[in-house]
Amino acid sequence: MAGLTKKTPYPTEIKLHQKSRILDITFSDGKIFQYPCEFLRVYSPSAEVRGHGPGQEVLQTGKKMVNVSKIDPVGHYAIQLNFTDGHNTGIYSWDLLYDYGLNQDKMWQRYLQRMEDAGASREQETASHVTHSCK
C-alpha cells in the first residue's frame, strides 16, 4: 500500500469484541485504537463504498448494528473484514487503520453530518408494511 514504510506502525494485537461490536488494535508504537464495526463498515476502503474517484463515495445507511463476522489476513500488510451485512471487499492496510485511528472522531462527525444532510438513518430499514388492495 502507498503509505507502508519500515517506519509505519503495525498491529501487535487485533481483538474483536463481538458483543460491543468493537475492534481493538494495538500498534507497534504503543497506540491503541478502538474501532466500532459500524465505523469500519461505513468507511470501508472498497470501491463499492469509496467509488472509483473523488465525489463518487456512496453514503452507507442502516449500518448501526453491523458486526464483523470474520477477519482474514492479507499478506503482512492488511486485513480483510467480513461484515454481517455481507460486505467483504475492503482491504484495510496497516497505514489506513492507523490513519483511521488518528482521525476517527473527525471522520465520524463528518459521517453523521452527511447522514443528517441526506435525511438518512443509521438504523437498518425493516420491511415496510405495505398493503395492496386489488379491485
The grid cell for 79 is 486485513
Helices (H), the chain: 37-42, 47-50, 94-118
Cα gap 60→48, rounded to integer Å = 10
Q: State mean pLDDT over 99-124.
A: 96
The domain spans of the chain are 11-118
Question: What percent of the chain is helix, strand and coil (3-state, nearest 5)?
Answer: 25, 25, 50
Residue 111 has what pLDDT?
97
Mean pLDDT on 73-98: 96
Alpha-carbon torsion angle 65, 129, 111, 32, nearest 10:
0
- 3-14: average pLDDT: 85
First to last CA, the chain: 61
For residues 31 and 135, the model is more confident at 31
pLDDT at 132 over 60: no
pLDDT tens, residue by residue, 98-108? 999 999 999 99
**Residues 7, 28: Cα–Cα separation, whole Å:** 10
d(Cα 84, Cα 67) in Å, to the nearest integer? 5
Task: Report whether 50 contacts 66 (CB < 8 A).
Answer: no
Is residue 126 very low, low, confident or very high in pLDDT (cuts 50, 70, 90)? low
Q: What confidence tens digit (pLDDT) does each residue in 63-77 have?
A: 999 999 999 999 999
Q: For residue 4, what pLDDT is reported? A: 65
CA within 13 Å, CB half, 71: 19
Q: How many CA atoms, within 13 angstroms, populate the side-chain half-sphere of residue 7?
A: 1
Assigned CATH topology for domain 11-118:
NE0471 N-terminal domain-like (3.30.2020)
